Structure 1
Amino acid sequence: MSDRIEYGNLMHAAMRSLIRTVLSDVAADGLPGEHHFFITFDTTHPEAQLADWLRQRYPSEMTVVLQHWYDHLSVGDDGFSVTLNFGESPEPLFIPFDAIRTFVDPSVEFGLRFETQDSDEDEDEEDEASDLPETEPHDNDTGNGDAQIVSLDKFRK
């Protein structure tokens, strides 16, 4: 038993549980209204599964968008899988909840950020997005609802 309560770890577990619940609801019923998600994750996480060409292009982190087109969204205890379209190329992904760095729903200005263990900042911090993220189109983006890679640097301190 530890000699202190690990509030940061408990908060991260609660925030990941919230993401799991939201994604499970979306998998069952679809995205309601204008809701959509920007999810940034660590591509070096040992359990993250993505195509080799995506891992080479995004060697440390990647942001995906669940909005107009996604397929096969399935949520488990440890992560979720989804197929996204990258420039007319559907690619399956598995994103462990432990690999998620940010989760943002700009339609309601809601965001979560997970601090890394080597960060000097408090681990139990939850950010609410006050500005919508700026979108950087994917090189192969056809503009027809395909997945987009975005920068969420506005949400970083």
Structure 2
Amino acid sequence: MGKSIDYGNLMHNAMRGLIRQVLENVRKDGLPGDHHFFITFDTMHPDVELADWLSDRYPEEMTVVIQHWFDNLEVNEDSFSITLNFGDSPEPLFIPYDAIRTFVDPSVEFGLRFETQDSDDDDDFDEEDDSAISDSEVADFEPAQKSDTHVEKNDAPKEAEIVSLDNFRK
């Protein structure tokens, strides 16, 4: 056993499990009420699959909206796939959970932000930094780039609140 408990890695895994469970529920039952999601992910992640024109347009990260129209939602242990509409052009996406940078449901002011780790091995987390969300990011969250998916003009998203797990540490 190592010198310390890697809380950062444990929190990231738990938050990804939460996203997986939410998406699994949506796959089975559809989106309830006014729920919808902004999911920002790393388009350069080696396992992300998207059309070349999308990766050219969003070379670092992309935010997709799961709201009015989506199809073929498949939820797996480590990833999900979905077909979304980009300017009347349905495009399939394959997104591993570890490529997700933010997950926001503005209808209930809920959001998660995953810290990016600058290390040689992206799967290892720095033992010194075990916080998944910094307090400075809690107040300043805005979804990154908006996607071309259809969002009706009268559906203005509410400000999302990012939950900081540091508040619950002793």
Structure-2-length-normalised TM-score: 0.75
Cα displacement (A) at 1:123: 3.1
Matched position secondary structure for 1:92:
strand
The percentage of aligned residue pairs carrying the same residue is 63
What is residue 19 of structure 1 aligned with on the other side? Answer: 19
Q: How many angstroms apart in 1 are the aligned matches of 2:7 and 2:40? A: 23
- Structure 2 unaligned spans of 5+: 119-125, 154-158, 163-170
Q: How many angstroms apart in 1 are the aligned matches of 2:36 and 2:73? A: 14
What is residue 31 of structure 2 aligned with on the other side? Answer: 31
What is residue 55 of structure 2 aligned with on the other side? Answer: 55
* Counterparts in 2 of 1:64 and 1:131: CA distance versus 1, 3 Å: same
Mapped pair 1:124 → 2:132: yes
- Contact map agreement 1:37 1:66 (CA 8 A) in 2: yes
Q: How many angstroms apart in 2 are the aligned matches of 1:20 and 1:64? A: 16
Q: How many angstroms apart in 2 are the aligned matches of 1:67 and 1:57? A: 22
Paired positions, count: 148
Q: How many angstroms apart in 2 are the aligned matches of 1:101 and 1:137? A: 14
Matched position secondary structure for 1:83:
strand
- Contact map agreement 2:37 2:106 (CA 8 A) in 1: yes
* Counterparts in 2 of 1:142 and 1:117: CA distance versus 1, 3 Å: closer
Q: How many angstroms apart in 2 are the aligned matches of 1:106 and 1:143? A: 13
Cα displacement (A) at 1:32: 0.1
How is 1:36-115 mapped onto 2 (pairs within 5 angstroms)?
A: 36-115=36-115
Greater C-alpha radius of gyration? 2
- Contact map agreement 1:37 1:103 (CA 8 A) in 2: yes
Cα displacement (A) at 1:51: 0.3
Q: How many angstroms apart in 1 are the aligned matches of 2:114 and 2:108? A: 19
Matched position secondary structure for 2:81:
strand
Q: How many angstroms apart in 2 are the aligned matches of 1:44 and 1:135? A: 15
What is residue 4 of structure 1 aligned with on the other side? Answer: 4
- Contact map agreement 2:85 2:150 (CA 8 A) in 1: no
- Structure 1 unaligned spans of 5+: 146-151
Structure-1-length-normalised TM-score: 0.81
Q: How many angstroms apart in 1 are the aligned matches of 2:26 and 2:43? A: 23
